[in-house]
Amino acid sequence: MKKTVLALATVSLLSCSPQDMQNVLNSIPSSTALSNEEVISGLKEALRLGTERSVEKASIADGFWNDARIKIPFPAEAIKVKNTLTDLGIKKPVEDFERTLNKAAEQAAKEAVPVFVDAITSMSIQDGFNLLKGGENAATNFLREKTSDALRAKFAPVVENATQQVALTSYWTPVASAYNTATLLTGGKAVDPDLNAYVTTKAMDGLFLLLADEEKKIRQDPAARATALLQKVFAQQ
């Protein structure tokens, strides 16, 4: 009976006009249709994979310092400190300080994977379908929008611990003190920026930038889809 039905269906298709044939084919359910669970699991897997790759890049030796996209510069609100000290020929303390900012972010990044993984779990099925059809960084933008406050609350202590381990304050204090002393002559304003907040924000910015790059690769390059689930899900976007 099944063979007879299939044969009749084949004959019917062959007798159709090209447009009618396409309409018939479009009405047949696809065997590769994605289930709700596959969509949400695939997107979570993509974010986990992207996070792992991003953290790996950021947390290697000089990961922040050697990557111009995420390198943490001298705090903008204290840029006059850098300029004044550089003009006075005090260059090494400035470079040591900038390197240490990046070293703190690098060390903090090593602890970021579980923080991001925890944040991914709240994604809904509807969110998943929206993000699947969204722009090249839709998932990254969604994750940042929904979790930045929670991530900052969890990430800040890690950064603070990292800055202590690399003695960031010991670099900042002499730089700031030297500048503040110079302001007595220059008439400038003394500085005391919150370095932990600054490094936390810049470290998060850097990780999200790297994560956006990884998401873009997964969406655009089949070779970047490391699992069968990713291949299936992102082939349907």
pLDDT in tens, 202-235: 999 999 999 999 888 877 767 667 677 777 767 6
Q: Return the pLDDT at 221.
A: 66
Would you state the pLDDT for residue 69? 96
Phi-psi map region of 62: left, alpha, beta (phi>0 left; psi -120 to 50 alpha): left
- The predicted pLDDT at position 40 comes to 78
Contact between residue 211 and residue 54 where contact means Cβ atoms under 8 Å apart: yes
Phi and psi at 83, nearest 5°, equal -65, -45
pLDDT of residue 126: 76
pLDDT reported for residue 65: 95
Give pLDDT, residue 223: 66
C-alpha distances in Å from residue 206, one per residue of 140, 172, 209: 12, 22, 5
Domain ranges of the chain: 1-30, 35-234
pTM summary value? 0.70
CB 216 within 8 Å of CB 141: no
- The sign of the dihedral angle between the CA atoms of 134, 137, 139, 141 is negative
Confidence at residue 176, expressed as pLDDT on a 0 to 100 scale: 77
List of the chain residues with pLDDT < 70: 1-34, 77, 166, 192-193, 221, 223-224, 226, 233, 235-237
